[in-house]
Amino acid sequence: GAVVSQHPSRVICKSGTSVKIECRSLDFQATTMFWYRQFPKQSLMLMATSNEGSKATYEQGVEKDKFLINHASLTLSTLTVTSAHPEDSSFYICSASRDSGNGYTFGSGTRLTVV
Amino acid sequence: QQQVKQSPQSLIVQKGGISIINCAYENTAFDYFPWYQQFPGKGPALLIAIRPDVSEKKEGRFTISFNKSAKQFSLHIMDSQPGDSATYFCAASIGGYNKLIFGAGTRLAVHP
C-alpha cells in the first residue's frame, strides 16, 4: 500500500532557530502534498497545499514566510518553520495524494517543541 | 466557516456496543468522504471512505451511512472493543485528491 514517511518524529529546538520537516512518499508519486497542524485535543488544520514544481498555496492566516514549503519532486516535500517561537510548538502532519482520486496517505507526524 | 461539522465531541461505549459518530457537510461539491482513526502521537489512519453514489459501505466492523439529500454521513462501529478507543475524524474533499477538510473529531472511549 501507499506509504508516506515523515521525519523527524520529534524535534526540540531553541527559540529563533529554524526546523525542517521532511515528507516522502515511498512507493508512489505524490501529485499533491498537504501540510497540517494539530494542537492538543484539536482537529487537523490545513496549512498549505503544494504541487510538485510550483509554489505552495497557503490557507488564510498561515504565514508563508514563516512556514516555507518546498515540493521539489514528486516524492518529497519539506516544511521549514523559520525563526521558531514557543507558540509554534505543535504536531505537524503531512499527507500525499495522487490525481487518481484514491484518497490520501498521511505521515506519522512530527512533534515540534520550541523552548 | 466550518465546512464539516462532527458530533458528538466525546463518546463512551461499553464493550460490544455500537459506536455512532455523525457528520454534516455544507459544500455540495464534496464527493469523497473518509473516516480516520488517530491514536495519540500518531498520524491519522484511513478506516473507510465513501462516495455519494452509494448510501452505505461496510468494511468489517465499520460501516458508513451516507444521506446525500441531508448532506450527512455517519460512522458505525459494531461490537466496539477497548482497542477502538481513539479519536475519530470525518473529512470531505472534492475528487479525493484536493484539499481534505476535517471535522472537529470525536474521542471514543470503549469501556470493558
Element (H, E) at A31: none
What is the distance in angstroms between the Cα of A101 and the nearest Cα belonging to chain B? 4
CA dihedral over A98, A89, A63, A20, signed as positive or negative = negative
pLDDT in tens, chain B (112 residues): 568 999 999 999 999 999 999 999 999 999 999 999 999 999 999 999 999 999 999 999 999 999 999 999 999 999 999 999 999 999 999 988 888 999 999 999 999 9
Tell me: the pLDDT tens digits for A54-100? Answer: 889 999 999 999 999 998 888 999 999 999 999 999 999 999 988 67
> What pLDDT score was predicted for residue A53?
80
Contact B100 A100 (CB under 8 A): no
In eight-state DSSP terms, residue A85 is -
Is A25 at the interface with chain B, CB within 8 A? no
E runs forming strands in chain A: 4-7, 10-13, 19-25, 32-38, 45-51, 57-58, 67-73, 76-81, 90-97, 104-106, 110-114
What is the distance in angstroms between the Cα of B20 and the nearest Cα belonging to chain A? 19
Contact A34 B45 (CB under 8 A): no
> What pLDDT score was predicted for residue A27?
87
What residues contact residue B19 under an 8 Å CB cut-off, 6+ apart? Answer: B11, B13, B75, B76, B77, B80, B84, B108, B110
What is the distance in angstroms between the Cα of A87 and the nearest Cα belonging to chain B? 19
Contact B46 A104 (CB under 8 A): yes
What is the distance in angstroms between the Cα of B70 and the nearest Cα belonging to chain A? 23
Residues of A in contact with B42 (CB under 8 A): 108-109
Contact B104 A43 (CB under 8 A): yes
Candidates A104, A105, A108: best to mutate against B (most CBs of B within 10 A) is A104
C-alpha to C-alpha distance for A113 and A12, rounded to whole angstroms: 5
> What pLDDT score was predicted for residue A54?
84
> What pLDDT score was predicted for residue A98?
80
Contact B105 A43 (CB under 8 A): yes
The alpha helices in chain B, defined as continuous H runs, are none
SS3 A81: strand
> What pLDDT score was predicted for residue B100?
92
Tell me: the pLDDT tens digits for A9-36? Answer: 999 999 999 999 999 999 888 889 999 9
The position carrying cell 515528507 is A23
Nearest CA in chain A to B33: A103
Nearest CA in chain B to A10: B41
What residues contact residue A59 under an 8 Å CB cut-off, 6+ apart? Answer: A45, A46, A47, A48
C-alpha to C-alpha distance for B19 and B62, rounded to whole angstroms: 10
Beta-strand pair A32-38/A90-97: antiparallel
